[in-house]
Amino acid sequence: MVQSALSRPGQRERYDSKIGQIDWVFVTLLAMLAGIGALIQYSVGGMSWEPWAYSQLRNFALFLAMALVLAVVDLRFWLWLAYPSYAVSLILLILVELIGDTRMGAQRWLEFGPISFQPSEFMKLAIVLALARFYHERKPEDANWSFWLLVPALMIAVPSALVMHQPDLGTGMLILLTGGAVMVLAGLNWKAIAGAGLMGAISVPLAYFFVLHDYQRNRILTFLNPEGDPSGEGYHILQSKIAMGSGGLLGKGLGLGSQSQLNFLPEKHTDFIMAAVSEELGMVGGAMVLLLSGTIIIMALRMAALSHSHFGRLAASGAIATYACYVLINGAMVMGLFPVVGIPMPLVSYGGSVMLTVMAGFGLILGVKVHRYQELPKQSSMLANLME
Amino acid sequence: MPEMSIVFNDINKSQGVFTRRAFLMGGLTALGLFALGGRLAHLEIVQGGKYSRMSAGNQFNFRVIPPPRGDILDRNGKLIAGNRPSFRVMIETNEIKDINSTLDQVSYILPQTVTSRRRILRDINQNQRSVPTLIAGDLSWEDFSKVSLYANDIPGLVADMDQVRAYYYGGAFSHVVGYVSKINAKDLEAEEKKPEADLNLLHHPSFRMGKQGIEKALDTVLRGTAGGKKMEVDANGRAVGEDSEGSRAPVAGQDVTLTLDADLQQRAVDVFGSDSGAAVMMDVHTGEVLCMSSTPGFDPNLFVSGIPSKTFKLLNEYERRPLLDKALSGTYPPGSTFKCLVAMAALEAGIPETTRHTCGGVFPYGNHVFRCDGVHGNLDMHGAIVTSCDVYFYNMAVAVGPDKIAEVARKFGLGQIFDIGIDGQKPGVVPDKAWKKEYFEKRGRPAEGRWWPGDTPSIGIGQGFTNINCLQNCVSVTRIANGRKVVMPHLIKAIGGKAVNYPEFADLSVAPSHIDMVRAAMADVVTSGTAARSGKLDLGPIVMAGKTGTAQSHTYKDGARATLHLDWERRDHAWFIAFAPADKPKYAMSVIVQHGGWGASSAAPKAREIMRLALIKDPEVRQRIVGPVKDTFDPAALKAAEAEAATHPVDIPVAPTETTAGATPPPA
């Protein structure tokens, strides 16, 4: 606010001053998290940059650059992008349903020539933008309890149902949770929240018996009793717990984790990387990841709260809600508190597409902070604004 | 944010809601992360010990190193059974998804495995998943190199070196030393119950268990104690390193030295050729068994890696019964060899050796006429043994009675099972009145248990109910040759390099003069009696004493004589018992040729060849022999000698005839 009073007209729009407004502490925390991830990938890759650590760091550098570029993009661009990106993502999801490529038993990928990608990843960000724009343009009372709420409810339900049907339970759940978080943050009535919670509680057993695939059902059974089948479905959970438990306070040391180095730990470089972190770097390492993640989430929420536009607030908080869901679900899954769903630990786990999604989200968050004083009109011709 | 409130009221309002909810969400997230941190601390600190142990259990795998089995040596230290290295290739089933395609790859490298595909698949199904299955053993160096080269590219394929039991004399020791083979389900169950059982070893694919003879009897001594390698393994069970501190070396089984002489054992097998029978030789003074063979034998090496069922069927169904230990388990009527003991019984009963009877070829008794194979004229006891006159011994048996004969026979070892360390001995029958009563009572026919007078004469010539094994006959001739002690047979000389001590022999309660009488008669059997043509050693002053015997193996029709021109299984059993040197006995032996024809023509020449070698090998005896001695043996010459002896029938059984008239003598 002090700065706003001092700044000359037009100065905020200058890119060099925008770059100065980027929260570099936040960026440093992201880099630390990615650094821990690369370190462990170096270790579980047999103390080698290949095959994971190098490309993980390269991806991070690339996506960080992208995030920094997104951070200086005018918020009006995001606002303009909201509905079209949602529409394109939805169309792509429907295309996956119709002509998608089946990999590892699930239909998640679309191929365009040499490029193949999962539209569900785009949807994670698009849903946040679309909902933010919707609430931005409505009266605050409507967000509490009104006929209009059918629109965001459908906007969430359709893509999450499509993704779950692929079947990708984890991502579908993530879309549902993120969308729900945005609705709550926008001011949804507490009774409605309680009602939705109740409906969720009822639908879980119903879904278990009528909706879930056998392998998903097995995962839940195994989660409830991992020792029941230690060499089959319970293997992941048990080996993960063994890896974490045997790490102790300070860990076995980099490259010395027998569980991860000798392949007892499955998916050690992707979904179960937290187990490898905790085995080799001990409780200190595991707690470090949780602490960094927590700090990132709190800082992002604070940045969202600083925004002068409702769109900026909801977009930034929605993006961080996605990230928070990733962290909490992955942490709980690795520690045997949640069934095994394919949810990685963002930035730490190896994998380009999830990193792309969350880094784009972080770019948005940084951008919301950079443009926190920017007022956005409720109804406007976006194109006209951009032309200006 | 005061400046905002002036501008947009509704935005101000929604900002308030958002800030509260964002705060709440931040709090909830922090709570969730805090809970995860608590869970982390619980896993890593509180349950850390438990999971550390589980981690070590994952990481390390105790691989059993089977102990080398103890060697089995002959009395001179010659290796009878040992271990030889074998290159083998195994398959680790739990690493393989498609066994058939893996076996296809293997058969490309080793074409010979194509034919054993069914056996391999069966073994894979039977084995535990953690246990590797043998694809092929005893690979040549070339094949082994090829497999080793490709083993890394075919997951689950393991090429290594194993120790395999080897029997260096083939079939010569097949019954007495026995063999080892894979443990079967029944044995496994029994072994697992033992308190000292090592389950890891019992389930190890290269573990073998003794199944017969010394290998079975001294199995635990020979087996040793398994060692182990503490291996670091990956999730696929592949070894990535070894923890030498956690490993321990196996303790080899103890060596067992037998009293047997491998040369004599081999000679016995050689002289028998394709004939069926057994030969046992003992040291007259120590009771050490120098030779104990049963022919035809089988190659025990066949059983080590698993005998093909076709081969086993052939062995099992062959009429000469290679799987039967004829030295211990086969019992036969002793025939005329028994006359030595009948004479001994007569002397002990107070009948002087000068007692004479006249042989006119027949011995009418009751409503039977018992017959002799010749007309021997008037004989004393010495002459009767030398000529093996049946009539004389019919008379002796009737005069002495079955109970006294049985008593003396038992004194000389018949009807007994000896503790020689291995099982399989059949006691046979030394008949007396009590035996016959009990025998028929046990079978619920007590009326038949009465001893009839007509049962007695046959006893005198070693026929009738009398039934003995080859070891017993050897013990009896050993005791005659020793004359002073109740010599007991021994088979095990030392275990683990330490000599086994046996108790002193008891004194033999038989008058020395009676012993001398029988020995003198046995000496003349070879010089001028029934074995005159076939018992000569050709070793100068060293001569053998012996007694021929031909035991009826089936009933002839009235008055018929045994001939050699019968089907094999209808011919008589040929016996020869002997000791040498005749003047100063050192070695005693007994030979039976199953369905061999006559003792003098079939058994005596074989005994002579074995005895010759024993005497030549004895330095003390060798000194007394002047001039060069040929210690090899010529099978053709032996065959010729047997054929020549067969042209002079002596000591052969003749069937008694039944008469309608005739006085029934009073019960004996």
Residue range B20-39: average pLDDT? 93
Q: Where are the domains of chain B?
A: 2-46, 62-254, 262-303+333-646
Q: Which residue reads 């365009």 in tokens?
A: A112
Q: Is B114 on the interface with A (CB under 8 A)?
A: no
- What's the whole-number average pLDDT of chain B? 87
CA dihedral B231, B232, B235, B236 (to 10 degrees): -40
> Closest approach of chain B CAs to the CA of A102, in angstroms?
23
Q: What ipTM goes with this model?
A: 0.90
CATH-assigned architecture of domain B262-303+333-646: 3-Layer(aba) Sandwich (3.40)
Tokens representing B622? Answer: 């060798």
List the single residue in B36, B52, B232 with the smallest CB-CB distance to A290: B36
Nearest to A155 by CA among A118, A187, A192, A182: A182
Residue range B271-280: average pLDDT? 93
Nearest-5° Cα angle at A20, A370 to A380: 25
Q: Cβ contacts (< 8 Å) between B33 and chain A: which residues?
A: 290-291, 293-294, 297, 327-328, 331
The DSSP symbol for B286 reads: T
Residue range A109-121: average pLDDT? 72
Residue B10 has pLDDT above 70, yes or no: no
Strands B79-91 and B157-167: antiparallel
Q: Which residue reads 């039967």 in tokens?
A: B324
Strands B72-73 and B256-258: parallel
Distance of CA A186 to the CA centre of its chain: 19
Residue range A168-192: average pLDDT? 91
Q: Cβ contacts (< 8 Å) between B48 and chain A: which residues?
A: 245-248
List the single residue in A258, A293, A308 with the smallest CB-CB distance to B4: A308
Residue A113 has pLDDT above 80, yes or no: no
Q: Is B236 on the interface with A (CB under 8 A)?
A: yes
CA-to-CA distance for B572 and A366, rounded, in angstroms? 111
Tokens representing B302? Answer: 């066949």
Confidence of residue B666 (pLDDT cuts 50, 70, 90): very low
How large is the C-alpha radius of gyration of chain B?
Answer: 37
Q: Which residue reads 């059984």 in tokens?
A: B653
Q: Please, which residues 259-288 of chain A have a Cβ atom closer than 8 Å to chain B?
A: 259, 262-264, 278, 282-283, 286-287
CA-to-CA distance for B87 and B85, rounded, in angstroms? 7
CA-to-CA distance for B61 and A264, rounded, in angstroms? 13
> Over the stretch B187-232, which tens digit does the pLDDT of each residue have?
888 888 888 888 778 877 788 999 999 999 999 999 998 887 777 7
Selected residue of B10, B24, B43, B60 to mutate for chain A interface (largest A Cβ count, 10 A): B43
- The segment with the largest mean pLDDT, out of B408-417, B556-565, B659-668, is B408-417
> Closest approach of chain B CAs to the CA of A116, in angstroms?
30
B382, with CB counted inside 10 A (0-12, 13-18, 19+), is middle
> If DSSP codes are grouped into helix, strand and coil, which group holds residue A271?
coil
CA-to-CA distance for A235 and B220, rounded, in angstroms? 41
Q: Where are the domains of chain A?
A: 16-387
- What's the whole-number average pLDDT of chain A? 86
CB contact under 8 A, A245 and B52: yes
Residue B560: its pLDDT value, please?
Answer: 67
> Over the stretch A251-307, which tens digit does the pLDDT of each residue have?
888 888 888 887 788 888 889 999 999 999 999 999 999 999 999 999 999 999 999
Nearest to B609 by CA among B524, B547, B537: B537
> If DSSP codes are grouped into helix, strand and coil, which group holds residue B233?
strand
> Closest approach of chain A CAs to the CA of B23, in angstroms?
8
> Over the stretch B336-350, which tens digit does the pLDDT of each residue have?
999 999 999 999 999
A-B contacts (CB, under 8 Å): 156
Q: How many other β-carbons are positioned within 10 Å of the β-carbon of residue A42?
A: 20
Selected residue of B5, B6, B10, B14 to mutate for chain A interface (largest A Cβ count, 10 A): B14
Q: Cβ contacts (< 8 Å) between A263 and chain B: which residues?
A: 234-236
CA-to-CA distance for B474 and A72, rounded, in angstroms? 111
CB contact under 8 A, A301 and B13: no
Q: Is A226 on the interface with B (CB under 8 A)?
A: no
Q: How many other β-carbons are positioned within 10 Å of the β-carbon of residue B300?
A: 28
List the single residue in B7, B14, B41 with the smallest CB-CB distance to A283: B41
Residue B489 has pLDDT above 90, yes or no: yes
Residue B535 has pLDDT above 90, yes or no: no
Confidence of residue A371 (pLDDT cuts 50, 70, 90): very high
Residue range A305-324: average pLDDT? 94
Nearest to B47 by CA among A388, A1, A283: A283
Residue A205 has pLDDT above 90, yes or no: no
> Closest approach of chain A CAs to the CA of B231, in angstroms?
13
Q: Cβ contacts (< 8 Å) between B29 and chain A: which residues?
A: 294, 297-298, 324, 328
Distance of CA A205 to the CA centre of its chain: 26
Nearest-5° Cα angle at A329, A328 to A332: 85
> Over the stretch B540-549, which tens digit does the pLDDT of each residue have?
889 999 999 9
The DSSP symbol for B416 reads: -
Q: Cβ contacts (< 8 Å) between A244 and chain B: which residues?
A: 40, 43-44, 51
Residue B2: its pLDDT value, please?
Answer: 42
- The segment with the largest mean pLDDT, out of A22-31, A89-98, B319-328, is A22-31
H or E segment at B177? none
> Over the stretch A221-249, which tens digit does the pLDDT of each residue have?
777 776 665 555 577 788 888 898 888 89
> If DSSP codes are grouped into helix, strand and coil, which group holds residue B490?
strand
> If DSSP codes are grouped into helix, strand and coil, which group holds residue A110?
strand
Confidence of residue A7 (pLDDT cuts 50, 70, 90): low
Nearest to A344 by CA among A322, A324, A356, A329: A329
Strands A115-117 and A106-112: antiparallel
Q: Please, which residues 171-200 of chain A have a Cβ atom closer than 8 Å to chain B?
A: 181, 184-187
- Where on the phi/psi map is residue A111: left (φ > 0), alpha (ψ -120 to 50), or beta? beta
Nearest to B532 by CA among B621, B460, B604: B604
Handedness of CA B498, B500, B504, B508 (dihedral sign): negative
> What is the assigned CATH class of domain B62-254?
alpha beta
> If DSSP codes are grouped into helix, strand and coil, which group holds residue B90?
strand
CA-to-CA distance for B49 and B56, rounded, in angstroms? 11
> Over the stretch B83-107, which tens digit does the pLDDT of each residue have?
998 888 888 776 666 778 888 888 8
Residue B665: its pLDDT value, please?
Answer: 42
